[in-house]
Chains A and B, each alone.
Chain A
Amino acid sequence: MFTLENFLFLLQGVPNTLAISFLSFALGFALGIPTAIVKQFSPYGLGHVADAYISVMRGIPVLVIMLLFHFGMAGIIPVFKSAFLSATFALGLRSGAFQSQIFRGAINSVGRQQMMAATSLGMNRWQAFRYVILPQAFIVALPGLGSEIALLIKDSSYAFVLGVLELTKYSDIVRKATRSFLYPYLIAAILYILITFPVANYLDRLGSRLKTKYGLR
């Protein structure tokens, strides 16, 4: 039987799911902005490095990256002995590649004219980028970042395969312990929807509100 106690037990998985998602989002953010800038301006021909990073991360399942980190590289890099950290780093690395794409799209949408206008006012290229382009690009990027967080929350369930105690793992435990086959997964699915929907929706609306406020298209 599936009882209230089971439900409360299931809820214990939520903090880890959130922790994996938001830590990997932060890591992806920290990687994504520099990657986008490098790809955009390609200093010292580093654009190819960014290209390679993005296409590798696009071409390999995040689960395989997790397995590679946790089982393949734990001996070389001690951090990966922890399943939790392996999952977080794998998701964060991939998210960095995805977020760099989001930022690059946003940077391009701001347009070259503003760069020219800013440089004609005596700003150098970096200043123009930092004070004119980036603040606007960030607003344009908000909806994209919202769906990226939603994707990370859902994909944090891959950590289940490494045995991390997150929502999916807990629902599996409940299923095995109670022999109740229907509710654990159904409730886990609903919980995921309840977590992802507000986050993505909020950033989406914040994005369009700020766009209107600052008169961006």
Chain B
Amino acid sequence: MTFLGLAGGFVLGILSALGDVYGTKLMKVIIAGYVEFFRGSPLIVQLLFFYFSIPALTGLNWDAFTAGAVTLMLNSGAYQKGYFKGAIEAVFKDQLMAAKSLGMTFRQTLRHVVLPQALRIVIPPWTNEYISLGLSTSALIVLGIRELTNISKSIAAQTFRPLEVYLFASAIYFIWITVSMKVFDWIYERVRIPGLEVNI
């Protein structure tokens, strides 16, 4: 679930960040509305809304898993947009002009100048989004999806040992998050271009 949400959010985040930085006025307004809705309201409410309200509205019938995945993608996209926007803006305007003066098209500039730098800059804040999304998958419990929190809840109910079960679940989350943080730090160090640190 985390990975689905992250991947979908990654695409949405980059697209809406590009739209926000380089797009037309109308695009900016639409993107601002999208971001405000998903960042301003709780994930649980969004999950319930997408699972119960969207089928009622459109006649579209989907199961809890699909609804959950779509919501996580949209939610994560709204957050990732902010990080990508910061990273894209950290690549200075001079470079855009320099690329233009070398005869590169806008698309080429994005592909070869802006994104290689922005994607490196974005790794640390993006790691935070990964962590927070990973932890908020526990919200999927409200749709009854069998993720770690939900499974621990039913084991706790069966065994009457809630303390041990929840401590164990906490340990699993903690190890998972700590290990993946280390992995992202390692990637960041690996792809870092020495001398090109930008502070956002």
**Would you give the 0/1 interface string for B133-169, flagging 1 where the beta carbon is closer than 8 Å to chain A?**
0011111011000000100110010000011111101
Whose C-beta in chain B lies nearest to the C-beta of A193? B40
Among A67, A76, A172, A192, point to the contact of B149 (Cβ < 8 A). A67
Chain B contact-residue range equals 35 or more
Verify if A196 is at the interface (C-beta below 8 Å from B). Answer: yes
Whose C-beta in chain A lies nearest to the C-beta of B161? A72
How far apart are the CA atoms of A182 and B165 in the complex, in Å?
Answer: 36
Q: Say yes or no: B37 contacts A64, CB within 8 Å.
A: no
How far apart are the CA atoms of A76 and B37 in the complex, in Å?
Answer: 40
Known: A63-B141, A68-B166, A186-B53. A157 touches B45 (CB 8 A): yes
Known: A59-B174, A60-B173. A168 touches B40 (CB 8 A): no
Known: A55-B178, A60-B135. A181 touches B162 (CB 8 A): no
Verify if B16 is at the interface (C-beta below 8 Å from A). Answer: no
Verify if B170 is at the interface (C-beta below 8 Å from A). Answer: yes
Q: Which of B46, B153, B162 has the most CB of A within 10 A?
A: B162
Q: Which residues 50-73 of A sit at the B interface, judged by CB distance below 8 A?
A: 55-56, 58-65, 67-68, 71-73
How far apart are the CA atoms of A161 and B178 in the complex, in Å?
Answer: 26
Chain A residues with CB under 8 A of B57: 181-182
Verify if A154 is at the interface (C-beta below 8 Å from B). Answer: yes
Among B41, B138, B156, B169, point to the contact of A192 (Cβ < 8 A). B41
How far apart are the CA atoms of A190 and B141 in the complex, in Å?
Answer: 22
Total number of A-B contacts with CB less than 8 angstroms?
Answer: 120
Verify if B49 is at the interface (C-beta below 8 Å from A). Answer: yes
Verify if B55 is at the interface (C-beta below 8 Å from A). Answer: yes
A68: shortest Cβ distance to chain B, in Å?
Answer: 4
Q: Say yes or no: B44 contacts A189, CB within 8 Å.
A: no
Chain B residues with CB under 8 A of A56: 174
Verify if B64 is at the interface (C-beta below 8 Å from A). Answer: no
Q: Say yes or no: A172 contacts B48, CB within 8 Å.
A: yes
Known: A59-B177, A168-B42, A193-B36. A185 touches B49 (CB 8 A): yes
Q: Say yes or no: A193 contacts B37, CB within 8 Å.
A: yes
Known: A64-B166, A161-B141, A181-B52. A59 touches B42 (CB 8 A): no
Verify if A81 is at the interface (C-beta below 8 Å from B). Answer: no
Q: Which of A64, A76, A150 has the most CB of B within 10 A?
A: A64
Q: Say yes or no: B162 contacts A64, CB within 8 Å.
A: no
Q: Say yes or no: A60 contacts B174, CB within 8 Å.
A: yes
Chain A residues in contact with chain B, CB under 8 A?
55-56, 58-65, 67-68, 71-73, 75-76, 150, 154-158, 160-161, 168, 171-172, 175, 181-182, 185-186, 188-190, 192-193, 196-197
> What are 17 contact pairs spanning A and B, CB under 8 A?
A55-B178, A56-B174, A64-B138, A64-B152, A68-B170, A72-B165, A154-B41, A157-B44, A157-B45, A158-B139, A160-B142, A161-B142, A168-B45, A181-B53, A185-B45, A189-B40, A192-B41
Q: A161-B141, A168-B42, A182-B53 are in contact. List 18 more A-B contacts (CB 8 A).
A: A60-B173, A61-B136, A63-B141, A68-B163, A71-B156, A72-B165, A155-B42, A156-B42, A157-B43, A168-B44, A168-B45, A175-B48, A185-B49, A185-B52, A188-B45, A190-B41, A193-B36, A193-B41
Chain B residues in contact with chain A, CB under 8 A?
36-37, 40-46, 48-49, 52-53, 55-57, 131, 135-139, 141-142, 149, 152-153, 156, 162-167, 169-170, 173-174, 177-178
